[in-house]
Amino acid sequence: MQRKALLLVICITLVVVSAAQEYVPFPTEQVHWNVLVVATCDDSHPPDTTLARYAIHGDTTIQEVDYMRLCLEKGDTVNPVIEPVGGLREEEKKIYFIGRDFGGAPHNDEVLLYDFNARVGDTVRHLQDDHPTFFSVIEEIDSMQIGVDYRRRYLVDHN
């Protein structure tokens, strides 16, 4: 009886863990999100904050590669001004970006934004103005629940 109970607990645990790590492809329709940018050039002054509203508006081709057209939405939310800023594409569980950064500077090469295949100990390269500015190492990977789904999140070192 104890063996059956232990086996049941192990099976339930495996189902929960595998469900928490299920891959969810990047959405392609009705995609909207906000990015809160907090920045300062001088620590003696309070930081400036900007809310950037992004959305996917159709498809585009950049340098002969097909992308989802990434746009910045400005003005009111009912009738926003749509400004294309680049493209996103997904390949082999990786999300790539090409286009302009927050400051409007163009990125002429793709930037890897997210890699679902990343593992603990992998190095993540952070870019600014098309140049690597610093690197982080993934220290932990876990999942967080959003609604009924789980999403993977990474804890990186802050060197």
Q: What is the pLDDT of residue 132?
A: 59
Buried b (16+ CB within 10 A) or exposed e, 34-58: eeeeeeeeeeeeeeeeeeeebebee
pTM attached to this predicted model: 0.69
Q: Count other Cβ atoms within 10 Å, centred on residue 19.
A: 11
Confidence of residue 33 (pLDDT cuts 50, 70, 90): confident
The pLDDT tens digits for 75-129 are 988 899 999 999 999 999 888 889 987 677 787 888 888 888 888 998 877 665 5
Amino acid identity at 112: L
Cα–Cα distance measured from residue 52 to residue 37, given in angstroms and rounded to the nearest whole number: 7
DSSP per residue, 4-23: HHHHHHHHHHHHHHHHHT--
